A and B are shown apart, each in its own frame.
Chain A
């Protein structure tokens, strides 16, 4: 556009090479987003395409057959039951403790060294590899009490704890101080204020954070490998005996050469993703509801 000499010059327009560089940078950013979309699309498409045909009531409830049998026989019932049992138990263990830990950090700890230390290491703990959590529970629990759903739940709980602490802490920080002060002015004790005023105010955010932590834990395999093993029939007792889960079964079937086993693997993958997706959507709904309530 050097030919604009003689005409009126638009001062707002930078020279063309600067504009082109800017355009190239913008295009690169869009390309990077496309690069993220492509694998996600492929994975979701493949899992749905290969998994949808095998999903049936029988698949979700029947016992796990030997790998050589075709996809039409048996299902993933024990894995569905195991995943639900173990994740539920992990939630019961980790969410109350995580919420209490966050209450300490925000309501009692304040700026104290101990509180800052706990907050810092709880963030660091989110980075501990899940396989290390599995080894930890193996050495401290399984070696003494044997394999069980409870051991798996302990490992998943260790993974969830710092996530719940972090998300709850962020929500408690949002609770306006005048609410607390008004309650103190009425003579309420700190515990009472926390339980009856602070927690209900932040409840929506806490629930949605917990749901995301559950979604993350439900998909974990590594912590369960050495804590629950795998079984082929439903184990309703989460506190004793080996158990199984959807991720463990997908891992076992992924390296199997048999078509039937692989098909069951895809079916289990679709079930697992659907479960995680439902939890994620539920979290979004709770968040939306919560945001509306606050306004």
Chain B
């Protein structure tokens, strides 16, 4: 969070006339502090308690936790297919969502008049209100059967073309990496849009006016004045979207096809880390359960790293802009 500079902020700094602070005051501060510390305690507890339950997977498999063989009946628990699937679906989601989100953010800040911007923001917020499981329900019962035909025709269309064939060729299925990526894109668009909009809105008006005064068109003004200012912040917003896309569970669990394979074919069924935890945890015991919890530990570590980097970037760009 941002730092505060106002003199009355940490008002404990104001020297009180009487030496003794009332007991109630001290108690209240202690309770508030405890509530704040709870955040740190929970984060540490998540890491400790889940790692503990996953320890049998980490210790028995060692480096093999990153192997590509996932076969619960043979007690082989390699996480690579799921890490691969997580990366692939998240990348597809970003490729679709980022241009759209930045486009909408620019539309809201630079093009439409303010009284139109408000209803558009409501609509985008509405997208965020649709629960993950409803996206999943719609994805598997309506969207996947519909888009399946397009996958099939694209797949036969690219037959023989080197790179495209390995990406979009082969067997196609409605429930696939690509379907999961598209649904994820819908789900992360609101957060990437609203964060980009916040960043872009902090560009000083004087920079915009300067560019216009030099005779720039709107596009030239965006390239010359808005973009250099907000580039870093938008990267941070995109990283936060990436974190969301990696951790989003239920919608993906329904539409990804549930097949632990590593394949370049994006239209083929796959799996990712949150989805396998959600789908298989119910039946899992012993080492199987430890492996799934361990996958949760890996997911926690990845998302924490990405979120820390993203927050640092967003905060830095914010500070620089206020300084400017």
Contacts and interface: CB of A to CB of B under 8 A. Distances in A.
Interface in A71-113: 97-98, 100-101, 103-112
A184 to B, nearest CB: 7
B6 A40 contact: no
Nearest to B183: A39
Contacts of B263: none
A213 interface: no
A46 B143 CA distance: 10
B124 to A, nearest CB: 7
A132 B46 contact: yes
A22 interface: yes
Contacts of B4: 106, 110-111, 173
A108 B304 contact: no
SS of A interface (majority): helix
B21 interface: yes
A29 B107 contact: yes
A191 to B, nearest CB: 4
A101 B35 contact: yes
B247 A128 contact: yes
B123 to A, nearest CB: 7
Contacts of B6: 177
Contact of A118 (B39, B193, B282, B315): B39
A139 B39 contact: no
B70 interface: no
State which size class the interface on A falls in: 35 or more
Nearest to B106: A29
Contacts of A32: 99-104, 107
Interface in B48-91: 49-50, 52-53
B135 interface: yes
B130 A273 contact: yes
Contacts of A190: 11-12, 21, 25, 28-29
Contacts of B138: 42-43, 46-47
Contacts of A120: 1, 311, 315
Given A130-B247, A135-B296, A191 B28 contact: yes
Given A221-B249, A262-B141, A116 B1 contact: yes
A149 interface: no
Contacts of B100: 32, 35-36
Contact of B134 (A132, A226, A262, A273): A273
B260 interface: no
Interface stretch (B152-160, B199-207, B214-222): B214-222
B246 interface: yes
A33 B38 contact: no
Interface in A11-67: 12, 14, 18-19, 21-22, 25-26, 28-33, 35-37, 39-40, 42-44, 46-47
Contacts of B306: 127
A169 B1 CA distance: 9
A21 B32 contact: no
Given A123-B1, A131-B274, A221 B107 contact: no
B129 interface: yes
Given A32-B104, A250-B133, A266-B137, A129 B303 contact: yes
B299 interface: yes
Contacts of A125: 39, 42-43
A117 B107 CA distance: 35
A26 B218 contact: yes
A98 B218 CA distance: 43
A131 B247 contact: yes
Contacts of B49: 136, 139-140
9 contacts: A21-B217, A40-B130, A46-B142, A104-B32, A127-B304, A136-B49, A139-B49, A169-B1, A191-B22
The 3 tightest CB contacts between A and B, nearest first, are A110-B10, A129-B247, A219-B131
Interface of A: 12, 14, 18-19, 21-22, 25-26, 28-33, 35-37, 39-40, 42-44, 46-47, 97-98, 100-101, 103-112, 115-125, 127-133, 135-136, 138-140, 143, 158, 161-162, 165-166, 169, 173, 177, 180-181, 184, 189-195, 215, 218-222, 225-226, 247, 250-251, 253-255, 262, 265-266, 269, 272-273, 276-277, 280
Given A129-B300, A131-B299, 18 more contacts: A32-B104, A33-B103, A33-B120, A42-B138, A97-B38, A101-B32, A103-B35, A106-B4, A108-B33, A115-B36, A118-B36, A128-B304, A131-B247, A132-B50, A221-B133, A247-B250, A254-B254, A269-B133
